[in-house]
């Protein structure tokens, strides 16, 4: 993997909605277009079209869920809430940076292109270039970000006190209290064999050899990638990384990539992951489609033996009590993320040291297998460690610090979880009050067809459009 940041999309419904919203027409059965669009809601100068409702409902149906009149009512009210946020953001002069809009746009378009198949298919779907798509959707994305920022502004000062947390928990119905899986706290001491210049030279020369064979026509790029590349994510597809955008790859990789012409192969490029050759397949502005071959330097047997000998001596020192596990981690571990925490490993999902025993296997399957045989307070003998995220192999000692039994949530054992639930409820109360207070200060209308049969949560000022 050579991406430097995750491509997290915060709103999947909107993401898919980009394919649909804004068409201005709903298609009747049989494929005959029948324009039936009209305004069904309005907050200030922000309008909601019937096509917005219909397209959102279509997505719900396509996901396998049922839709009825109340579904349309809920969709409309959600749009009304968003439009109220946007309209108030403009009144309050809330600012969203254009760079943030463009970054969000790139992420969404890249995701959609991946779902459709390619940038070309995305352009074919819309019947316009990527540049035109970006221009058309810029304001839509900006308004969504404005709404998000306005919501953060409303709730930024909301806090919960210990008494409020306790009151919240006591007020929960018994059948609403969540069941908590077993959780563990783990630590490790990791040692990675040192990569020598000889190891680097060997990897460089190996890749140079493959590059020459490809350029001489002795083997195809895709075949060489499948047979030899050390990037497991792209190797199975002949080194193809799909469509990406500027900023998703490490700088050295992109610097070489953006200097290439179509179908040209780069010189050997060194990054933190090893050595690459890159072929540019296509480029559209900051979006690019490429493939690569990665050869990572391999540690020598002698370096592995040296690391094993060192960690064995550390293990003996911990076992005979001459050194604590925590001190050993600080002094000897090569894992910069955990060594200064006494080796404790942070759970990236929660930001704390607690790991759900059911999910630890997703990130570190070897750890899962080791701790299932351990008791609290014990540590393992040294064993091989494959760091899949950084694509490194080392040797480590694992310690099981704590393990909870599966249980019904309680304040004594799960206060952080309950506190977050209480905070979310309080934030929602603040948002509800804010909505009710702002409705009267904004021009609000709803189409009369929605006035009958819709049980809205908020008291919207209702009038015919």
Cβ atoms of 83 and 460 within 8 Å: the answer is: no
Is the domain of 104 the same as that of 216? no
Is the domain of 32 the same as that of 47? yes
Higher pLDDT: 320 or 103? It is 320
Asked if residue 450 has pLDDT above 90, the reply is no
pLDDT the model gives residue 150:
95
Residue 216 covered by a domain: yes
Provide the 3-class DSSP secondary structure of residue 46: strand
The domain boundary, picked from 270, 295, 320, lies at: 295
Lowest mean pLDDT among 1-5, 243-247, 340-344: 1-5
pLDDT the model gives residue 39:
92
Is the domain of 285 the same as that of 206? yes
How far apart, in whole angstroms, are the C-alpha atoms of residue 108 and residue 406?
A: 39
With bands split at pLDDT 50, 70 and 90, how would you rate the model's confidence at 452?
confident
Is the domain of 208 the same as that of 107? no
Residues 89-148: tens digit of each pLDDT: 999 999 998 888 888 888 888 777 767 777 777 788 878 887 888 888 899 999 999 999
Q: From the CA atom positions of the chain, what is the Rg in Å?
A: 28
Residue 166 covered by a domain: no
With bands split at pLDDT 50, 70 and 90, how would you rate the model's confidence at 6?
very low
How far apart, in whole angstroms, are the C-alpha atoms of residue 342 and residue 328?
A: 8
Provide the 3-class DSSP secondary structure of residue 295: strand
Q: Spell out the residues 6+ positions from residue 308 whose beta carbon is closer than 8 angstroms to its own.
A: 382, 395
CB crowding 376-415: b at 16 or more within 10 Å, else e: eeebbebeebebeeebbbbbbbbbbbebbeeeebeeeebe
pLDDT the model gives residue 461:
66
pLDDT the model gives residue 173:
93
Is the domain of 187 the same as that of 333? yes
Asked if residue 2 has pLDDT above 50, the reply is no
How far apart, in whole angstroms, are the C-alpha atoms of residue 432 and residue 197?
A: 63
Residue 305 covered by a domain: yes
How far apart, in whole angstroms, are the C-alpha atoms of residue 263 and residue 278?
A: 10
pLDDT the model gives residue 359:
77
Higher pLDDT: 398 or 116? It is 398
DSSP 461: -
Asked if residue 304 has pLDDT above 60, the reply is yes
Taking alpha carbons only, the member of 121, 234, 182, 145 closest to residue 355 is 182
In the chain, the percentage of residues whose pLDDT exceeds 90 is 54
Structure tokens at 113: 């292109």
pLDDT the model gives residue 11:
31
Is the domain of 314 the same as that of 356? yes
β-strand 269-271 against 179-180: which pairing, if any? unpaired
Asked if residue 4 has pLDDT above 50, the reply is no
Total tally of structural domains belonging to the chain: 3
Q: Count other Cβ atoms within 10 Å, centred on residue 271.
A: 17
Edge-to-edge strand list for the sheet holding 269-271: 240-245, 287-295, 274-284, 269-271
With bands split at pLDDT 50, 70 and 90, how would you rate the model's confidence at 36?
low
Place of tokens 């890159």: 278
Structure tokens at 16: 């898919």
Is the domain of 434 the same as that of 355? no
**Phi and psi based region of residue 394 (left: phi greater than 0; alpha: psi -120 to 50; beta: remaining):** beta
Is the domain of 26 the same as that of 149? yes
Taking alpha carbons only, the member of 273, 84, 266, 294 closest to residue 195 is 273
Residue 455 covered by a domain: no
The domain boundary, picked from 268, 295, 322, lies at: 295
How far apart, in whole angstroms, are the C-alpha atoms of residue 207 and residue 275?
A: 7
**Phi and psi based region of residue 268 (left: phi greater than 0; alpha: psi -120 to 50; beta: remaining):** beta
Is the domain of 221 the same as that of 208? yes
Residue 422 covered by a domain: no
Q: For position 253, which CATH number holds?
A: 3.10.50.40
The domain boundary, picked from 261, 295, 329, lies at: 295
DSSP 141: H
DSSP 249: B
Residue 382 covered by a domain: yes
> Which residues sit opposite 418 in a β-bridge?
none
Q: For position 51, which CATH number holds?
A: 1.10.4030.10
The dihedral formed by the CA atoms of 88, 92, 93 and 95, expressed in degrees to the nearest 10: -70
* CA distance readout (Å), 53 to 7, 41, 76, 451, 458: 28, 10, 6, 15, 18
3-state secondary structure 312-357: HHHHHHHHCCCCCHHHHHHHHCCCCCCHHHCCECCCCCCCCCCEEC
Is the domain of 209 the same as that of 190? no
Is the domain of 35 the same as that of 111? yes
pLDDT the model gives residue 63:
67
Structure tokens at 434: 């804010």
How far apart, in whole angstroms, are the C-alpha atoms of residue 131 and residue 136?
A: 9
Cβ atoms of 318 and 379 within 8 Å: the answer is: yes
Domain region containing 445: 12-159+427-450
Is the domain of 381 the same as that of 435? no
Residue 109 covered by a domain: yes
Residue 225 covered by a domain: yes
Asked if residue 328 has pLDDT above 50, the reply is yes
């Amino acid at each position: 993997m050579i991406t430097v940041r995750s491509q997290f999309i915060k709103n999947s419904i909107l993401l898919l909605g980009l394919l649909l919203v804004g068409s201005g027409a709903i298609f009747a059965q049989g494929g005959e277009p029948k324009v039936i669009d009209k305004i069904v809601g309005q907050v200030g100068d922000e309008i909601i079209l019937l096509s917005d409702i219909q397209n959102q409902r279509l997505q719900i149906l396509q996901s396998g869920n049922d839709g009825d009149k109340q579904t349309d009512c809920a969709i409309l009210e959600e749009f009304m809430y968003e439009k109220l946020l946007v309209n108030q953001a403009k009144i309050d002069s809330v600012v969203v940076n254009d760079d943030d809009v463009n970054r969000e746009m790139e992420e969404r378009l890249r995701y959609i292109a991946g779902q459709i198949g390619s940038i070309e298919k995305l352009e074919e779907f819309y019947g316009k270039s990527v540049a035109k798509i970006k221009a058309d959707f810029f304001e839509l994305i900006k308004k969504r970000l404005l709404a998000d920022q306005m919501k953060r502004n409303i709730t930024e000062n909301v806090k919960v006190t210990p008494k409020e947390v306790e009151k919240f928990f006591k007020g929960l119905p018994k059948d609403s209290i969540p069941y908590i899986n077993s959780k563990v706290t783990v630590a490790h001491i990791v040692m990675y064999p040192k990569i020598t210049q000889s190891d680097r030279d060997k990897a460089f020369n190996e890749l140079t050899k493959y590059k020459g064979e490809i350029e001489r026509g002795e083997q195809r790029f895709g075949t060489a990638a499948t047979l030899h590349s050390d990037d497991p994510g792209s190797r199975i597809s002949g080194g193809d990384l799909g469509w990406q955008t500027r900023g998703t790859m490490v700088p050295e990789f992109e610097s070489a990539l953006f200097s290439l012409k179509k179908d040209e192969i780069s010189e050997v490029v060194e990054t933190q992951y090893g050595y690459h050759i890159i072929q540019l397949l296509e480029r559209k502005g900051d979006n690019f489609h490429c493939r690569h071959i990665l050869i990572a330097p391999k540690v020598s047997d002698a370096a592995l033996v040296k690391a094993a000998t060192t960690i064995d001596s550390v293990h003996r020192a911990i076992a005979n009590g001459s050194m604590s596990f925590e001190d050993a981690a600080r002094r000897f571990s090569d894992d910069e993320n955990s060594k200064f925490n006494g080796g404790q490993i942070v759970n990236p999902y929660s930001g704390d040291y607690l790991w759900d025993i059911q999910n630890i296997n997703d990130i570190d399957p070897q750890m899962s297998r080791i701790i299932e045989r351990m008791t609290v307070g014990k540590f393992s003998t040294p064993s091989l460690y494959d760091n899949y995220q950084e694509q490194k192999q080392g040797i480590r000692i694992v310690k099981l610090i704590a393990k909870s039994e599966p249980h019904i949530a309680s304040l004594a054992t799960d206060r952080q979880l309950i506190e977050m639930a209480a905070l979310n409820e309080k934030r929602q109360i603040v948002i509800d009050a804010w909505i009710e207070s702002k409705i009267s200060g904004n021009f609000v209308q709803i189409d009369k067809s929605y006035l009958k049969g819709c049980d809205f949560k908020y008291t919207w000022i209702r009038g015919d459009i």
